[in-house]
Amino acid sequence: MDCLPGTADEAGGGEEEGTQLGVGIEVEHLNAWYGKTHTLQDINLPVPANHCTALIGPSGCGKSTFVRCLNRMHETIAGARAEGSVRIGDIDIYKDASPVVIRRRIGMVFQRPNPFPTMSIYDNVAVGVTLDGTSARRVLDERVERSLRQAALWDEVKDVYKKKSGASLSGGQQQRLCIARALAIDPEVLLMDEPASALDPISTSKIEDLIFELKHQYTIVIVTHNMQQAARVAENTGFFLSGKLVEFSPTHQIFTNPRDKRTEDYITGRFG
């Protein structure tokens, strides 16, 4: 199967775009390896649609690997593989769709903003759409503007976005540009791997405000080392340790009364 159900028709575009609801993700018995290293061990986790789910844990615990398994990026690394079931809506991404189609439906934002330096702001946002086969200028214009507005960047770049390079923006703006680029392809899920770790507090606050707004339309999974950030943005939080999901609970419970001692030790700084 090449297409996920319930997604907007590319050619149809227009009014319907960007208004679809996100889809839930069901992860069952997910295991991942780097060579012989068993990086993720039997992960079971439900990500509710139109919610923000945060993943926390010490470095090397597997949370980024987990996120990369959700859009099949993990397997792009030589020697890496994953097994198990990841259902996004009605689709098992490891059985029912190609990685290219999956990544078109699941946007990703990384720790460091990575705009294409030689492209204009406009082209940075439009690039994913054009790679997808859409070339009509009207559709592209509309998609770029809508994505920049969704990423709360439009007001800051609307006068220069066709001329200025994406690399000319500040770090916080570049990260929002990357979010706009991810949104332009109309994903249903947005994966964010430490999206604000390289940003100042004001830019971080803008990203968090964005998450609050975007989860009405998208399902968001965020990896963060900043526990206050997880507490602020996510309805549910998962704690990873040594490749295992130790606890997955409503965020308010994780940060006020976690069920597992290991979670408590980690979030109170007693870990290790």
Partner 1 sequence: MRIKFHQSLGDLRERLLVMAGMAEQAIQRSIEAYRTRDLSICELVFRSEPAINRLEREIDQMALDLLAMEQPMAIDLRFILSVIRINADLERVGDQAVNIAVRVREMGAFANYDLPVDIPKLASLASAMVRKALQAFIEADAELAEAVLALDDQVDEMNDAAFLSLSTLIKEQPSLTPQSLNALIIARNLERVGDHATNIAEDVIFWVRGADVRHASTAL
Residues at the interface with partner 1 (CB under 8 A) = 227-228, 231, 254-258, 263-264, 267-272
Which of 81, 270 has the CB closer to partner 1?
A: 270
Which of 19, 268 has the CB closer to partner 1?
A: 268
| Distance in angstroms (rounded) separating the CA atoms of residues 114 and 102 | 21
Which of 24, 58 has the CB closer to partner 1?
A: 58
Tell me the closest approach of the beta carbon of residue 220 to partner 1, in angstroms. 22
Tell me the closest approach of the beta carbon of residue 111 to partner 1, in angstroms. 22
Dihedrals φ, ψ of 160, to 5°? -130, 0
Neighbours of 102 (CB within 10 A): 21
Which of 184, 227 has the CB closer to partner 1?
A: 227
Tell me the closest approach of the beta carbon of residue 255 to partner 1, in angstroms. 5
Helix 137-150 and helix 121-131: axis angle, to 10°?
120
Whether the Cβ atoms of residue 223 and residue 238 lie closer than 8 Å to each other: no
**Cross-strand pairs, 47:** 25
| Distance in angstroms (rounded) separating the CA atoms of residues 64 and 194 | 9
Residue 245 identity (one-letter amino acid): L
Tell me the closest approach of the beta carbon of residue 1 to partner 1, in angstroms. 43
Which of 85, 205 has the CB closer to partner 1?
A: 205
Whether the Cβ atoms of residue 187 and residue 107 lie closer than 8 Å to each other: yes
| Distance in angstroms (rounded) separating the CA atoms of residues 108 and 222 | 10
Tell me the closest approach of the beta carbon of residue 230 to partner 1, in angstroms. 10
